[in-house]
């Protein structure tokens, strides 16, 4: 209130003013509504009661626990532990069941699919994509062209121990670098690349001797990929007549692979994930539509 202020009553409203005036407008000293004050006082009482009953005041190294000793953190941890116990119980059933039993038992299948989908997103999608369609160097898991086989057991085996992962049980099969090692010269590589491409539905380059390319194939490639170019999953040799190639389907891509073969690595998941999760992944991947 300004010094020397004298009470003044607004002649229109009959309410005393506060003494504040802006551009001829005087502020009325209206009291707050009683209902508002009662609510405000009630919130103060409620806050004090809450401080007493529930954890609230921070201390040096902890906090006041409150009369009820309730803790949302403790509640969340208890719910988490209960969920993990339930998951472990179902997981034990997965571990003890065969892959075929999991697929034929509705409750186990539902859990395996949900668990496998989550595990795939966390561990596999970075390479194979969220939709499992793969990319150059990473197999499409939704087609039926599986280098190491796409049955439930074969997928489970691959997931457990990986491919060229260094694990003792890993699938191992390496294509030689025919060009960089000097096993074939550039002319032979071009010939065999065009021969393979022609058998895979590609248009061969002009002037290339396909008969010579077939001879190069028979002498260097047929032992793994077969005389019919259909491949051998026992050694991880892909089907060369398939619609898609892991490292690209073109004459140039085939030539590059023959010259300096790329042998990709898939990690072994058995040491990283629990057995129930590995089985769940096998069931989930198998259900994507590819494989056998």
221 is in an annotated binding site: yes
113 is in an annotated binding site: no
| CB-CB neighbours of 181 under 10 Å | 11
User: Which contiguous run of DSSP H or E holds residue 22?
Assistant: strand 17-22
Which residues does 49 contact at the CB level (< 8 Å), separation at least 6?
none
167 is in an annotated binding site: no
183 is in an annotated binding site: no
Which residues does 146 contact at the CB level (< 8 Å), separation at least 6?
139, 154, 233, 290, 291, 292
Closest C-alpha to 91, from 256, 291, 283: 283
Positive/negative CA dihedral, 48, 51, 56, 58: positive
11 is in an annotated binding site: no
Q: What is the dihedral of CA 90, 96, 101, 105, to 10 degrees?
A: -20
175 is in an annotated binding site: yes
Q: Which residues does the annotation place in the binding site for heme c?
A: 124, 127-128, 175, 221, 224-225, 266
Binding residues: 124, 127-128, 175, 221, 224-225, 266
């Amino acid at each position: 209130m300004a010094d020397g202020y004298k009470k003044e009553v607004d002649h229109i409203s009959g309410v005393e003013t506060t003494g504040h005036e802006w551009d001829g407008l005087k502020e009325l000293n209206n009291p707050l509504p009683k209902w508002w004050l009662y609510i405000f006082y009630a919130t103060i009482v409620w806050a004090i009661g809450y401080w007493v009953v529930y954890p609230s005041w921070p201390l040096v190294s902890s906090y006041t626990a409150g009369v009820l000793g309730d803790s949302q953190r403790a509640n969340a941890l208890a719910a988490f532990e209960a969920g993990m116990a339930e998951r472990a119980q179902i997981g034990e059933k997965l571990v003890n069941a065969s892959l075929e039993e999991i697929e034929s038992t509705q409750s186990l299948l539902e859990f395996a699919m949900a668990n496998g989908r989550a595990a795939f997103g966390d561990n596999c999608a970075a390479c194979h994509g969220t939709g499992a369609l793969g990319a150059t160097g990473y197999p499409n898991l939704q087609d039926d062209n599986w280098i190491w086989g796409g049955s439930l057991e074969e997928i489970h085996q691959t997931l457990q121990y990986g491919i060229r992962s260094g694990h003792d049980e890993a699938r191992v099969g390496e294509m030689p670098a025919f060009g960089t090692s000097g096993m074939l010269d550039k002319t032979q590589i071009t010939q065999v690349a065009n021969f393979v491409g022609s058998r895979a539905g590609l248009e061969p380059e002009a002037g290339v001797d396909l008969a010579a390319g077939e001879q190069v194939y028979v002498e260097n490639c047929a032992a793994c990929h077969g005389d019919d170019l259909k491949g051998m999953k026992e050694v991880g040799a892909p089907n060369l007549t398939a619609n898609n190639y892991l490292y690209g389907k073109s004459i140039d891509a085939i030539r590059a692979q023959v010259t300096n073969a790329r042998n990709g690595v898939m990690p072994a998941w058995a040491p990283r994930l629990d057995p129930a999760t590995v089985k769940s992944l096998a069931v989930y991947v198998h259900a994507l539509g590819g494989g056998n």
